[in-house]
Amino acid sequence: MKNILFSGFAICLILLTSCGKDAIEIDPIAELGLQKIGEQAQGDTRIMVWGDKSIESGYEKLYIQVLDAAGNFLNDGTLELRPMMEMNMDAGSMVHSAPADPTRLGKHDLFESGVVFTMPSSGEHGKWELQVKYTSLNKEVTDFKIPVQVAANKEAKVKTIRTKNNDRYVLSFHLSQAPKIGVNEANFTLHKQESMMSFPAFDAAAITIDPRMPDMDNHGSPNNVQPTYQKDGHYSGKLNYTMSGFWRVNLKITIAGEEITEFFDQTF
């Protein structure tokens, strides 16, 4: 009887040890189902940028790996990210940036950020790149420039709005998951455009939503939850899509007492 109990204990111990080893060896990229956006090496440091999907105009969540020459994760430094667009036109060239979330270390030794790509890439006439600055624990700074291809979204998910005094704000819309019949978590970002290079998060707006189906007598839906401010220019609410089809999400954005109307279309 003692031999049987000991054998059973040994088997359980082996199974637990094996499961723990497998859990450690899980590839975080494969586990999260991420898609590579770009990479670059400088000296002994390599940066790899990943996304939930291929990049389109609008808000995109980004995940960034920092690796040493041996392929080990580096998570003890800091990372700064700035999106840059170079536009080449007949009259000359110009560059501008776009809104971006602060970069923070998340799960699986991946740095996390987000960028509102305000326009798609356009061949030689418009090129996006991510400028990444990595500062190691001993204060060594390494700069990277990673080209990024941004496709046009079929339905615009980023727009610029203006107040009467001509202040400009960049507004974006995205769902946390693919659209579905029922309640969807809806996310909006709002950044003030102070210049072509500066887009600070704006936290002093009120946003209300009114989803409608223009092709179905413009009916609405019940049980929507109005967006509230979260952080870093993000507002979150809930949209109730009662059926599939073409929806228009009508918005009222109130800034300093002024109401601005806008909309985003969603078809599924």
Q: What is the DSSP string of 10-56?
A: HHHHHHHHHHHHHHHH--HHHHHT-EEEEEEEETTEEEEEEESSS-B
Q: pLDDT (tens digit, 9 = 90+) per residue, 163-214?
A: 999 999 999 999 999 999 999 999 999 999 999 999 999 999 999 999 999 9
Phi, psi for 248 (deg, rounded to 5): -120, 120
Give the whole-number percent of the chain exceeding pLDDT 70: 90
d(CA 33, CA 27): 10
Picking from 154, 130, 163, the residue whose alpha carbon sits closest to that of residue 49 is: 130
253 pLDDT above the threshold of 50: yes
Q: pLDDT (tens digit, 9 = 90+) per residue, 117-143?
A: 999 999 888 999 999 999 999 999 999
d(CA 241, CA 155): 17
Identify any residues that bridge with 159 across adjacent strands, giving them in sequence order.
171
Picking from 117, 114, 160, 156, the residue whose alpha carbon sits closest to that of residue 249 is: 156
Reported pTM: 0.88
Domain with CATH 2.60.40.3340 in the chain: 158-267
12 pLDDT above the threshold of 70: no
Looking at domain 158-267, does it have CATH number 2.60.40.3340? Answer: yes
pLDDT computed for residue 6 by the predictor: 42
Higher pLDDT, 63 or 20: 63
Picking from 101, 107, 112, the residue whose alpha carbon sits closest to that of residue 230 is: 101
- According to CATH, the topology of domain 28-148 is Immunoglobulin-like (2.60.40)
**Residue 251, burial from CB neighbour count under 10 angstroms (0-12, 13-18, 19+):** buried
- Tokens 């990673």 belong to which residue? 146
Whole-angstrom Cα Rg for the chain? 23
The string of DSSP codes covering 168-183 is: EEEEEEEESSS--SEE
What's the start-to-end Cα distance of the chain, in Å?
A: 63
Identify any residues that bridge with 237 across adjacent strands, giving them in sequence order.
186
The pLDDT-based confidence of 89 (bands split at 50, 70, 90) is: confident
* CA angle in degrees (0–180, nearest 5) for 206-101-197: 95
Phi, psi for 45 (deg, rounded to 5): -115, 135
pLDDT computed for residue 156 by the predictor: 98
Contact between 173 and 116 (Cβ < 8 Å): no
Query: How is the chain split among helix, strand and coil, in percent rounded to 5?
Result: 15, 55, 35
Q: pLDDT (tens digit, 9 = 90+) per residue, 216-231?
A: 999 999 999 999 999 9
pLDDT computed for residue 165 by the predictor: 96
